[in-house]
Amino acid sequence: MQIPDEKDIASKSRNITEQANRIISKRGKNIWNEFKKAYRESAISFIEEAKQNGLETHNRFWISSALKNQGYDIHPDDPRIESVVGCYFSAFYPHCHLIPDTKEMLRKLKGDYRLGLLSNFTHAPAARIIIDRVGLRPFFNAVLISGEIGYRKPHPLVFRRLLENLGVEKEQLLYIGDDPEPDIHGACRAGIQPVWTTYVRDQKLPFVPGIIAGDPEQPDFEVPSISSWDELFSLLNKR
């Protein structure tokens, strides 16, 4: 899926800010800018830790930690934090779109293959809402979200879960992904054949905005790659 840049979701920023300021207002003084700085630092710290141990993190921990840094002891499960997280992700929903011809591709494959979707997404409810909104759910035999599993790609556990849910052996699975480290390297370490899809890169489309996002580097080893679904069909010898 492709998510546009931050300008496309600016219309919701006021609602998000108002929700957040309900938590971080002190004697009527708005400390939003200070909080944003503390939030970014907290998020980066949690994300780096997740990269080391493979455990999934969540936005509510970043918010709670940032608030604590500002002198507010608010638990990650506080309903006000939950409200802010929900509001933040809701801004993305109307702007999530599929790569062209994705559904047609999935229809062709579904008759012959068991299909699975494995996504790194901190807030699993938002991921499932996006999947349902763009109409992907009916095509997949298994949908796994890192926020529900508790681990994130490239940890081998998530790939084992995918195999288990699809009921196939690793030698039978072809894993298609666009981010070299979690997708391509992760699948390879799990003994699964990866395929690198470069559509977003080749079309110079924006990657998902945010702290986790970045323009990923190329895999450091030779791997099959595709830039269109027609190229995938050629790889599978399927027309």
pLDDT at res. 32: 78
Residue 64's pLDDT band (cuts 50, 70, 90): very high
159-54-95 Cα angle (round to 5): 75
The verdict on whether omega for the bond into residue 154 sits within 30 degrees of 0, i.e. cis, is yes
Q: Which helix (H) or strand (E) element contains residue 22?
A: helix 13-24
Q: 125: number of CA atoms within 13 Å, CB side?
A: 10
Residue 174 has pLDDT above 80, yes or no: yes
Nearest to 85 by CA among 60, 65, 109, 62: 60
The residue with tokens 């599993």 is 149
Mean pLDDT score, 40-54: 94
pLDDT at res. 19: 60
* Integer CA distances (angstroms), 166 to 105, 144, 162, in order: 19, 11, 6
Q: What is the pLDDT of residues 146-165, one digit of tens each?
A: 999 999 999 999 999 999 99
Residue 86 has pLDDT above 90, yes or no: yes
DSSP letter, residue 206: P
pLDDT at res. 5: 40
Residue 6 has pLDDT above 50, yes or no: no
Rounded Cα gap, residues 128 and 107, in angstroms: 20
Nearest to 179 by CA among 216, 126, 124, 127: 216
Classify 1 as helix, strand or coil. Answer: coil
Nearest to 46 by CA among 127, 158, 152, 143: 152
Q: What is the mean pLDDT of the chain?
A: 87
Mean pLDDT score, 106-133: 96
